[in-house]
A and B are shown apart, each in its own frame.
Chain A
Amino acid sequence: MSSTKAPVPPTQAEIQQIQDQLIKARDAFQVHETELQKLSASRSKLLTQLNENEMVKKEFDLLESEAKIYKLNGPVLFKQTKEEAENTITSRLDIINNNLKTIETNFKDIEKKAMEQRNKIFEYQNKIRSLTAPPPPQAQ
């Protein structure tokens, strides 16, 4: 009986090449993850500030126009009119919202890149797994 020729096993160089690509993809993914974490932290801080300022604004809305309002500057409380205080809060809210929009745009862009790298990682892992799997038992 003539034996069927076994498939040629992949060369070590081929496996090494894929492993190198895997390492590169993993490093790139890690860079993106770090950037996303920073953006996430910034966004979280801005959301906290947004929430705080919005609640202060709501409190101002509940006050009568003659309410005595003080602004803390360092260790000193300065009197402010309700109008002054409301204008300050409104300006802050505008700045915070603009910053949040910028961060969201950046976040989506980098998240997309991270996803691409992650898919590459899985692809390379699966490739290596299939190449290094033991050959199926020889049919006789």
Chain B
Amino acid sequence: MEFLSDIASLINSTLRISTPLVFAAMAGIFAERSGVIDFSLEGKMLMAAFVAAVGSYYLGNPWLGLLLAIIVCVCLSMLHGFASVTHKGDQVVSCVAINILIIGLTTALAAAWFGQAGLTPTLNEDQRFLEIHLPFADALRDIPVIGTLYSDILSGHYVFVYLAYLSVPLVFWIVFKTSFGLRLRAVGENPSAVDTAGINVFTMRYKALAINGVLIAFAGAHLSTAVNANFFREMSAGRGYLALAAMIFGKWHPKTALIACLLFGFTDALQIRLQGVELPAIGEIPVQLIQALPYILTVVLLAGFVGKAIAPNAIGQPYIKER
């Protein structure tokens, strides 16, 4: 029985840990399917975490904090678009600039407003998101299997966890079943074809970036107003890059990107569980090595096991109409 509850809690934390990755990967899909590289997922996630924490603290409502984070992230995406779509700058450089800007900006603003470099005040229960307990979760807990599945795995998550997994079929539907999705995929493959079909390439890319901004805001808010009750320095901790890797590993497709995010989430959950545990024949594994596991996995998967990931054809290239 103890083994079963161990598994249940491992799955439970996998779902929670994967949540920001899923949002970020979905955000990445919109940007990159439209032909715009988005390295700045990391920076935007960090900014969203900061803005959501500060907004919730001052406005007293985490939903208003989230709204602010969405507005700020959409603005950042527009900035990326302005540099790399309108002015045809290098997309990677634009992203790196945004990432560096935000690391400094969040630390500095926290210091100016709260007197502590890179730390915002702890949010109370009204100012943050709480875990949602699904109806009858307690009553059903003792039923074998169903109880574990419902009460220990499905119930008791933050709202973002549910939203993240709902966003995947939604993104799939938008990208593959709507005319917007058709145009989105086309503009990342062959912008000239889109232009000659009478659709504005730039508008399409800006729309995709706006959606990207909305989605990434959820990832940040999850970090600072749900799993944690404040913002701290560099709290995104490479999740934006990890999500980008998951998206590439998932070949720019929502379903496979989800699987990749879950895989990364699972190794992370596993490493937390493995810390300090004596393994038979091996003994205790150094913490640092275990913590590196998700990243090692990224490198290994990207380097060899996935096969050639074929990116959208026009990715990274600004659209230049006149010679």
| A and B: bona fide binding partners | no
> Contact residues of A with B, CB < 8 Å?
none
